[in-house]
Amino acid sequence: MSQESTHGQYVLEPEHVSVHTGNTEGSSFTPPGDGGQQQNQPEPAGPPPAVPPPVVPPPVMPPLVMPQVAYEQMFPAMMAHYMQHMAQLMPMFQPPPPPQPQPRIVTFKTLKDNGAEEFRGDKMGEPQIALDWLEQMDRVLKNLRVLDADRSELASQMFRKGAYDWWKRIDQDPLMPKPWTWDRFDRAFTKEYVPTRYREERRDEFVALK
């Protein structure tokens, strides 16, 4: 403000300047009530776990009551459908077939161990010996379940000396029917070692026993 002096001059008065301290960058401002220190706030632990929606049970429907007449009409069709369904499932539950039995290997030792005896054919005057040998050989081969096509070959393994020579001769005869069966072997052996007269006597004895 200027005031006029007594001498007609104006004198400038110094202006009153009020200095206000403001918040500037770098200054620290502490809000009242915090004690001058910043409180440590806990960091959030993340979003809360998702809660599954409640399971709502399905509505319970009351049982349907079928009239007796309708049930009796539908029952045959239901049974037919059931039987057809079971027939389709039956092949799935059938047990596998049993394994086929393996063919048994029969050797000379096997025959001997089961009661077969050697035959030499040197007692032509005793045809009963030949018949006894043939009967015993047939029994052994049956017990071992030897196939008919293999019986003659196995029986010939028991031949010795004269009987073996006879077998080689008749086996190589082109007029002899082949292959060998036990019936053919029986007839050829009996014809060679059992005379016709002796066979007839045995047959008559068998008929008399009846």
Q: What is the pLDDT of residues 137-182, one digit of tens each?
A: 999 999 999 999 999 999 999 999 999 999 999 999 998 888 999 9
Instruction: Report if residue 77 sits inside a domain.
Output: no
What is the pLDDT at residue 64? Answer: 62
pLDDT tens-digit readout, 129-139: 999 999 999 99
- pTM comes to 0.50
Instruction: Report if residue 131 sits inside a domain.
Output: yes
Instruction: Report if residue 65 sits inside a domain.
Output: no
Whether residue 80 is predicted with pLDDT greater than 70 in this model: the reply is yes
Tokens of 18: 């009020």
Express as a percent the part of the chain with pLDDT over 90: 36
Instruction: Report if residue 148 sits inside a domain.
Output: yes
Instruction: Report if residue 7 sits inside a domain.
Output: no
Whether residue 40 is predicted with pLDDT greater than 90 in this model: the reply is no
Whether residue 18 is predicted with pLDDT greater than 70 in this model: the reply is no
Instruction: Report if residue 135 sits inside a domain.
Output: yes
What is the pLDDT at residue 117? Answer: 95
- Domain extent for 190: 108-209
Instruction: Report if residue 113 sits inside a domain.
Output: yes
Tokens of 188: 């050829």
Contact 154, 141 (CB under 8 A): yes
Instruction: Report if residue 154 sits inside a domain.
Output: yes
Total domains present in the chain = 1
